[in-house]
Amino acid sequence: MTIKGNLIVGQSGGPTTVINGSLAGVIAEAKNHEKIQKIYGMQHGIEGLLKKNFLDLTDCSLNIINGLRVTPASALGGCRYKVKDDDYSQILEILKEKNIRYFFYIGGNDSMDTCNKISILAEKEGYEMQVLGIPKTIDNDLPITDHCPGFGSAARFTAISTASAGKDLEAMKSFDDVAINEIMGRHAGWLAAASVLAKNDFKDAPHLVYLPERAFSVEKFLEDVKSIHKELGYVFVSIGEGIKNSSGEFIGENQAETVVDAFGHKAIALGNGPASYLSKTIKENLGLQARYSRCGTIQRSFSECVSNIDYEEAYLVGVTAVKHAAEGKTGLMITLERTSNDPYKCCAGAVSLSKVANVEHFVPKEYINQQGNFVTQEFFTYCLPLAGKNIPKYVRLV
Amino acid sequence: MTIKGNLIVGQSGGPTTVINGSLAGVIAEAKNHEKIQKIYGMQHGIEGLLKKNFLDLTDCSLNIINGLRVTPASALGGCRYKVKDDDYSQILEILKEKNIRYFFYIGGNDSMDTCNKISILAEKEGYEMQVLGIPKTIDNDLPITDHCPGFGSAARFTAISTASAGKDLEAMKSFDDVAINEIMGRHAGWLAAASVLAKNDFKDAPHLVYLPERAFSVEKFLEDVKSIHKELGYVFVSIGEGIKNSSGEFIGENQAETVVDAFGHKAIALGNGPASYLSKTIKENLGLQARYSRCGTIQRSFSECVSNIDYEEAYLVGVTAVKHAAEGKTGLMITLERTSNDPYKCCAGAVSLSKVANVEHFVPKEYINQQGNFVTQEFFTYCLPLAGKNIPKYVRLV
């Protein structure tokens, strides 16, 4: 059904804590198939392929494969190169030249589009090659799949860091009033929403959650903060980095600030992110002390906080992609299909690449409360298993 | 040697991930001594004592004690109240009223001063009470003790988050150039220095480390960044939040709203901090893409990243304080004394409170390299065991 030839695998977009688990799955499973000869890695995704920057992974040891599973961020290098229409014929030429018959691309929406176009072109030109997309994104915004590898571990980090820093704020409530945590997700708010997962009590953080899916009103936000502060004496707020006002402008982006450069020249710079902006706004308008945190890429890479579910599933989608390819399937992205929620059970499936390419899956209405300042119980039910076992439960003396 | 009476314990200053471990140690050990009758907790430290806000912990279950050991931040509430000279006689009156004969205060420099003054006053007035300080600070800036409970876990978080985010930056090096991580430590740079602990290779993060102990030059910094970027194509920078220029001004202070706390310390909590400022400066002066992260209180509370050494020692200092008190010792702060580095061995000792009160222990010269942009091998040797076992070692394909 398939022909003998070489395999290539690439990693695209921003890294995750477990993206190398999918790479490990591809390499490990490829070794089980005689028709797969050489195993190549593209360095820095499709851009590396265009530059013919390959790594030969054929003789990768079990030690390296296991090591990859606990090494965060894309070991082959990530990529944000937007493939041009002209590039595709060149990509196919290079693949033919290397006798690549098995093509795997680990990535998000854009990468699935790239994958889809390569698959279509290969078929059109009668070049036999199995092309499979392997899902990866902390943003959890790929459609059809129940969730995306990478998201669960980032969700776990966000949940535990919020609960922990919430205890810190509560302990210091006579001195600090408000803490704002800025969480990744430029368009989709899945990760900011996941900050609730270790909350067990109204006193626990977060008290307010704002996602990019809802227009953000600074006035309404200040009212919300004031109200919780009155009740508890402290307020912990989770915000998606991509929150926008009703005109679609990012919050804090047009806040001009004076910067003094190395030579003492004053300059105007824009945008420190919404958390920095909102912490100032709180101080100015409510007279409350406000801290902010912004873990940046730490939230998508922190290797001591991995969801056991995510760890297993990232490997599973890599393995499954190779199995499907070996069976002659092509033009697919591997999906995760939840078959039971309690106990959590999930298996790997597949969907046509054309159905996922460039489609973004946002947090749906039923997961956001009516006021747009928290999530619903349905979201908890959906998300909690993904963050893995042993989500901490802290004790409380007061 | 000691007389029958009640015990009181308080937590002061900013929280740590393991400060409740010391509280658990005090409660658990107190139950072993018949002369100790009631066990009280002050809510929000000495301020709570002055307001007579007490919790009765006498019947604390083993479940709660064990739960405290894995619950971050001060379960009794933290405190930043600067005790006034007039307050001390009132404090002693309240302690007499509650028949407190065993007084324990878990905190840093300022708290040890408070403790010392209470001890001196009690003795002067002939009121028999054992007064003991229990060290706690992520800043690691208490003198005499080898290190401070709370520091090891924060050091572990800083080390692993830096190594993880460094892998992320390296993976994205064609797209991102510089990442700056702002690390807690207003005066002492111990925690920023600890960001190096998971570095195994020149390519690994961090490449540059700047501590508040050395005057910071923006021009020199830009040269350093440019030079590493030329060599590697990416640069990861760790900076202590309290870095200052040669005039003693906080870097980025023109942007930050500097806050002065009850002790007259300048805090950066409300401003944008140096990382935000320096990332802009890099863009403007070097034309490089620069991200910044700032984990804020997450770095001192993240409960999924605890050093096993710190976990044990935080409990040990609590237990030891009670043992010393039961033996009639008073006016002491418990210390940690390292007896061997490889294998790491450490035991608890004690020092007169008068020797530690208000003394800050900075990162010494021999731990900072000559250029003032990294740490020395001696620092690694000192610090590595404190961050606990299983510091990750990642694999590398390139």
What average pLDDT does the structure give for chain A? 94
A1: distance to nearest CA of chain B, Å? 32
pLDDT for B142 beyond 90 = yes
Confidence band, pLDDT 50/70/90 cuts, at residue A257: very low
A329: distance to nearest CA of chain B, Å? 29
B125: distance to nearest CA of chain A, Å? 32
- Asked if B79 is an interface residue toward chain A (Cβ–Cβ < 8 A), one would say yes
Give mean pLDDT, residues A271-291. 89
Sheet strands side by side (includes A235-240): A208-210, A235-240, A178-183, A290-294, B290-294, B178-183, B235-240, B208-210
Three-state DSSP state, A369: coil
Per CATH, the architecture of A5-149+304-355 is what? 3-Layer(aba) Sandwich (3.40)
pLDDT of A265 reads 42
Confidence band, pLDDT 50/70/90 cuts, at residue A369: very high
pLDDT of B2 reads 86
Q: Indicate yes or no: CB of B272 within 8 angstroms of CB of A272.
A: yes
Give mean pLDDT, residues A357-361. 91
Per-residue pLDDT tens over the stretch A33-89: 999 999 999 999 999 999 999 999 999 999 999 999 999 999 999 998 889 999 999
Other CB atoms within 10 Å distance of the CB of residue B98: 17
CATH code that applies to domain A158-300+363-387: 3.40.50.460
Confidence band, pLDDT 50/70/90 cuts, at residue B393: very high
Give mean pLDDT, residues B13-23. 97
Which candidate from A172, A179, A276 shows the least CB-CB separation from B14? A172
Which candidate from A80, A160, A165 shows the least CB-CB separation from B304? A160
Nearest to A135 by CA among A359, A334, A351: A334
pLDDT of B175 reads 85
- Asked if A292 is an interface residue toward chain B (Cβ–Cβ < 8 A), one would say yes
B1: distance to nearest CA of chain A, Å? 32
Contacts of B55 in chain A (CB under 8 A): 397-398
Confidence band, pLDDT 50/70/90 cuts, at residue B273: confident
Q: How many residues make up chain A in this entry? A: 398
pLDDT of B252 reads 83
User: Which of the two residues, A280 and A168, has the higher pLDDT score?
Assistant: A168
What average pLDDT does the structure give for chain B? 94
Q: Indicate yes or no: CB of A70 within 8 angstroms of CB of B392.
A: yes
Q: Indicate yes or no: CB of A174 within 8 angstroms of CB of B47.
A: yes
Interface of A with B in 8-27 (CB under 8 A): 11, 14-15, 17
Written as six digits, the tokens of B334 are 């418990």
Confidence band, pLDDT 50/70/90 cuts, at residue B270: very low
User: Residue B175's closest chain A neighbor by CA?
Assistant: A80
Is A305 within 8 Å of A390 (Cβ atoms)? Answer: no
pLDDT for A276 beyond 90 = no
Query: Same topology for domains A5-149+304-355 and A158-300+363-387, yes or no?
Result: yes
- Asked if A30 is an interface residue toward chain B (Cβ–Cβ < 8 A), one would say no
Interface of A with B in 187-246 (CB under 8 A): none
pLDDT for A6 beyond 90 = yes
Per-residue pLDDT tens over the stretch A90-140: 999 999 999 999 999 999 999 999 999 999 999 999 999 999 999 999 999
pLDDT for B171 beyond 90 = yes
pLDDT for A269 beyond 70 = no
Q: Which residue has the tokens 């910067």?
A: A259
Per-residue pLDDT tens over the stretch A166-221: 999 999 997 899 999 999 998 999 999 999 999 999 999 999 999 999 999 999 99
Per-residue pLDDT tens over the stretch B179-238: 999 999 989 999 999 999 999 999 999 999 999 999 999 999 999 999 999 999 999 999
Contacts of B53 in chain A (CB under 8 A): none
pLDDT of A262 reads 40
Q: Indicate yes or no: CB of A290 within 8 angstroms of CB of B270.
A: yes
Is-above-0.90 flag for pTM? yes
Among A18-22, A266-270, B350-354, B360-364, the range scoring the smallest mean pLDDT is A266-270
* Candidates A87, A110, A113, A139; catalytic one: A139
Instruction: Indicate which of B308, B397, B398 best probes the interface with A, i.e. most A CBs within 10 Å of its own CB.
Output: B397
> Which residues face A267 on adjacent strands?
A259
Q: At what angle do helices B218-232 and B273-286 cross, to 10 degrees?
A: 70
Q: Indicate yes or no: CB of B168 within 8 angstroms of CB of A68.
A: no
User: Residue B218's closest chain A neighbor by CA?
Assistant: A262
Three-state secondary structure readout of B23-51: HHHHHHHHCCCCCEEEEEEECCHHHHHHC
**Chains A, B: CB pairs < 8 Å:** 248
pLDDT for B309 beyond 90 = yes
The Cα–Cα gap between B115 and B125 comes to: 15
Is A365 within 8 Å of A174 (Cβ atoms)? Answer: no
Give DSSP secondary structure letters for B331-394.
Answer: SEEEEEEEEEETTEEEEEEEEEHHHHTT---PPPGGGB-TTSSSB-HHHHHHHGGGG-S-----
Nearest to A223 by CA among A212, A211, A235, A241: A235
Give mean pLDDT, residues A290-307. 96
**Is A139 known to be catalytic?**
yes
Give mean pLDDT, residues A139-168. 98
pLDDT of A273 reads 82
Written as six digits, the tokens of B149 are 């409970």
The Cα–Cα gap between B350 and B353 comes to: 9
User: Which of the two residues, B357 and B311, has the higher pLDDT score?
Assistant: B311
The Cα–Cα gap between A328 and A5 comes to: 13
- Asked if B302 is an interface residue toward chain A (Cβ–Cβ < 8 A), one would say yes
Q: How many residues make up chain B in this entry? A: 398
Helix (H) or strand (E) holding B101: strand B100-107
pLDDT of B259 reads 45
Could you tell me what percent of chain A has a pLDDT over 70?
Answer: 95
pLDDT of A271 reads 52
Domain boundaries, chain A: 5-149+304-355, 158-300+363-387
CA distances from B86 to A72, A374, B98 (A): 55, 46, 20
pLDDT of A158 reads 98
> Which residues face B346 on adjacent strands?
B338
Give mean pLDDT, residues A257-285. 65
